[in-house]
Structure 1
Amino acid sequence: MSTDRSSRYKTPVYKKDQPDDSYKFKPLPGPVGVYPFHLDIKSIIPDIHSEKIIFHMVGDTGSLRNPEFTRLVANAMALQCAESENQPPQFLYHLGDVVYNHGEVTEYDRQFFIPYQQYPAPIFAIPGNHDSDVNPAAVQPYKSLEPFVKVFCSPVQQPVDFSLIKDRPGMTQPNIYWTMETPLATIIGLYTNVPKYGIVTKEQCTWFAEELVTAGKQHPDKMLIVCMHHSPYSADINHSSSIAMIEFLEETFFQTGVRPDAVFSGHVHSYQRFLKTYPDGFTTTYIVAGAGGYDELHPVATLDNPQFSGDHPLFKNVVLANYCDNKHGFLKLVIERKEHGPQLTGEYFSIAHEYTTDKAADAHVVERFSVTPGKKLTYKQTGD
């Protein structure tokens, strides 16, 4: 982990004087499944445990310049699946940026299928900004997210026609934004498009509000988790926090009266864990886990860097609890039913930066944390 932490921010930061790049917005492809775009995990993993589920989570695994870090992270997770003494991780939830720089068909084998060939469990995903972009110089013209949809939003599980690796069939997610239903948690996956700080369409905003209300009725018997690519809160020097995403989330939370227990994101190439405490005492955990393989890591800003500021009304009562910004890594999450209800415990693993290592022992625990559903969570009646 980084040294000299006393000189670094302990809050989120925003990057000053950023240009408006909303012109990069790309139209969304149509859904494969039916509204409201739910996928029951049991349709993919029939024997998933009703009292305890274990899974990996990571973002930004793609890399053009140095795919070795992608391979190391993928191997470490695969070996955890193989070497777990009791219940192994049962799936991977990818937080976006599977393929750099423009989500092209020609890069999926090198950046995804080959590195993850040994990962034995299903892989689900939400798109990142690079998955969604389009290379204007591509030999074969394509539209935004066409390759991603073929890999992750297939109507049926079958080999992906453009991949040489035939033992990982396309995943059957109903849409690029969608909800995973598990016995212990509802996981809502958002799509935040191409611009640097994200954009969410009006239609998706409406869908998200409906999903929060529906999930709120099951809370706290089931945990409520939100996943998105662009990080709402970050203290890094590359992207920093997305004010647009914070405003979008907080407006929807206020509208519905429902807040998630945890929000996971990628986009920023580091690990950061934030805690946001609301006036009613409810705390939401915000975790950035975007160090999945892209060779450039994003360190936490120093207090004397004039490009950044931690002074913003939206950062009130938000603290940076821990971070790892100098090594690649991934999350291993466990949701287990306890006497008081489900509880999420997590471990963030970093990997050694030597290219010769393939052992799971070389993935070191940076920190362990836990999240318990907030008992003060409520939802507004919507006429039902």
Structure 2
Amino acid sequence: MARTHKTRKGKTPAQSEAIDNTGATGLDKPIFAQPQPTDDPTSFEVKHPSDNPVYKQIDQLNREHKIAPLPFPAPRGLPEPTLTLAAVLGASVNTLQKQFQAKAQIVFHVTGDTGSTRGPETQNLVSDKMVNDFTDDEKEKPMFYFHLGDVVYSFGEAEYYYDQFYEPYRDYPAPIVALAGNHDGMVAPNTNASTLAAFLENFCASEFEVTAEAGGLARTAQIQPGVFYTFEAPPYVRILALYSNTLEDPGVIADDTIGDSQLAYLEAALKRVTSDGFKGALILAHHHPAYTAGSVHGWSQQMLSQIDAICGKTGVWPHAVLSGHAHNYQRFTRLHGDTQIPYIICGNGGHALAKLMRKKGTSLRTPQQLQIKGHADKVILENYDDQDYGYLRVIATATQLRIEYHPASDGDGAKTPDDFVTVELATGKLVHFTGT
């Protein structure tokens, strides 16, 4: 049973059916959207003061090399912590299999860097458009939303979860699973806060419950096994989620401070892809990007090298790699052997946009090859958007993985993506989407 918490705005926890959110249920099953849609708020309930003074301290500590990655609790279920779509829906595997057989595909949402410190407007632009996707035909409706990290700014504080997470997604009628971004685990200097405390409370609960941070809204906490894990939606999708820790740059998944548990996990997960004979879409996700085209945040070359080493060792490479952190949209193609791997940044889910750094004030033209010392594979910047907030709509079939980019500026009812890419699963090559 859930704990009892005070409510905000006079709301009480709604109870609704796990899959279609109609009818009543107990908390032995998850709850997602409110039973009735409500208007977007125009202001935060908890005022978010400026974090500039704290960041001056952080910048100085960075200059003095006094900030290191932070250790984190081990996930449940090592060596490969696993979470299934059936579990987060509170549904039986047989029920899901019947749905997938009828649809012959799975659709889901992806974006990151959503928590705004300035007010709800920019995040609501994206969440409202995502919610509108549930007006599609049944086959096209998303089954879940995978968050690429930085759920709450600036230090993942519990007091901001209501305004930056629960309220913006109050009408989102599906599960939200997440990886942790650097801001979700950061600890402000001279505080006694514990890294990831609120993230673990709201995304890594051991059972379905309504937390205090929900402020009386209906959504139950997620039941992820920890900050790195495999998320499975068989037979179409398997997402390997890594935690790239708390530094602004670079992302770190293994070093002397935090150990190599994620490398051991990644090797176990990739080996199981082979032992299971998994033929669906394999997606790798981490908050810090492997590549960027020159925005404020840089790439994480050591992290990329560690991942590449394990992919090479196991002989298993992802069909796509998804990241956030850069506060804009960027799509790259990595030419690896005979395959073409999309590396996509979608970090414009609601937090302040970051323009790409341009030489002499000129616009950055695409396509453009990145110049990377010591990197054997060619990497091409194919497209980007540093003007709009937006999200990804991902479609996986038995043979293809299609990733679409939808900017919020197109309007809630616009269904045509501004950018897209399709990977043929059997060959790892980019192709035209053929559907089901």
Normalising to structure 1: TM-score of the pair?
0.83
Alignment pair present for 1:294 and 2:355: no
Distance 2:190 2:173 in 1: 35
What's 1:335 paired with? 396
Trace 1:273-284 onto structure 2 (pairs within 5 A). Answer: 273-279=331-337, 281-284=338-341
Decide which of 409, 423, 428 is 1:371's aligned counterpart: 423
Q: Deviations over 1:210-247 (max 9, x none)?
A: 11111134456222111100000110320132212221
Q: Which residue of 2 aligns with 1:346?
A: 403
With structure 2 as the length reference, what TM-score do the two structures score? 0.74
Matched residue SS, 1:368: strand
SS of the residue aligned with 2:413?
A: helix
Answer yes or no: is the 8 Å Cα contact 2:108–2:142 preserved in 1.
yes
- Report the counterpart of residue 270 of structure 2 in structure 1: 212
- SS of equivalent residue, structure 2 residue 263: helix
Match status 1:236 vs 2:294: yes
Post-superposition Cα deviations, 1:103-133, rounded to whole Å, max 9, x if no partner, equal 0001101111111111111000000000011
Alignment-derived partner of residue 71 in structure 2: 27
**Larger RCO (alpha carbons 8 Å, 6+ apart):** 1
Evaluate the alpha carbon distance shift between residue 284 and residue 343 of structure 1 in structure 2; reply closer, same or farther with a 3 A threshold: same
CA distance in 1, matches of 2:139, 2:265: 38
Structure (1 or 2) with the greater strand fraction? 1
Q: Is the 8 A contact 1:114 1:165 kept in 2?
A: no
The residue aligned with 2:203 is: 152
Task: Please tell me whether the aligned partners of residues 99 and 112 of structure 1 are also in contact (alpha carbons under 8 angstroms).
Answer: yes
Q: Distance in 1 between matches of 2:393 and 2:425?
A: 18
2:215 equivalent to 1:167: no
Output the amino acid matched with 2:336.
Answer: Y
- Deviations, residues 301-329 of structure 1 (Å, cap 9, x unaligned): 44889xxx834222741111111121110
Q: Deviations over 1:81-110 (max 9, x none)?
A: 234464311110000000000000011011
List alignment gaps of at least 5 residues for structure 2.
1-61, 255-259, 363-369, 430-436
- Is the CA contact (8 Å cut-off) linking 2:328 and 2:353 kept in structure 1? no
Q: Kindly indicate whether the alpha-carbon contact (under 8 Å) linking 2:296 and 2:354 is maintained by their aligned counterparts in 1.
A: no
- Identity score, percent: 30
- The answer to whether the Cα contact below 8 Å between 1:272 and 1:320 also exists between their aligned partners in 2 is yes
Q: Alpha-carbon deviation of 1:282?
A: 1.9
Which has the higher mean CA deviation after the structures are superposed, 218-227 or 342-351? 218-227
Question: Could you list the per-position Cα deviations for residues 9-62 of structure 1 after superposition, in whole angstroms to 9, with x for gaps in the alignment?
Answer: xxxxxxxxx968582311102324554211121122334343311100001001
Q: How many residues align?
A: 345
Q: Tell me if the contact between 1:104 and 1:147 (Cα under 8 Å) persists in the aligned partners.
A: yes
| Map 1:101-120 → 2, pairs under 5 A | 101-120=154-173
Q: Deviations over 1:271-297 (max 9, x none)?
A: 111111123x12211111111011232
1:91 is the counterpart of 2:170: no
Aligned residue identity for 2:378: N
Distance 1:65 1:89, change over 3 A: same
Structure 1 letter corresponding to 2:146: Y
8 A contact 1:220–1:373 mirrored in 2:
no
Please give the secondary structure, in 1, of the residue aligned with 2:400. Answer: strand
Which of the residues 253, 256, 259 maps onto 2:311? 253
Partners of 1:242 and 1:22 lie apart in 2 by 19
| Structure-1 residue corresponding to 2:88 | 44
- Structure whose CA Rg is larger: 2
Match of 2:178 in 1: 125
| Alpha carbons 1:54, 1:90 under 8 Å: kept | yes
> SS at 1:24's partner residue?
coil
Q: 1:264 to 1:376 in 2, by over 3 A?
A: closer
CA distance 1:20–1:31, change in 2 (3 Å): farther
Distance 1:74 1:149 in 2: 23
Q: Give structure 1 stretches of 5+ with no counterpart.
A: 1-17, 354-358, 378-384
Equivalent residue number for residue 143 of structure 1: 194
Structure 1 partner of 2:384: 323
Within 2, Cα distance between the matches of 1:22 and 1:254?
34
Deviation of 1:136 after TM superposition, in Å, equals 3.9
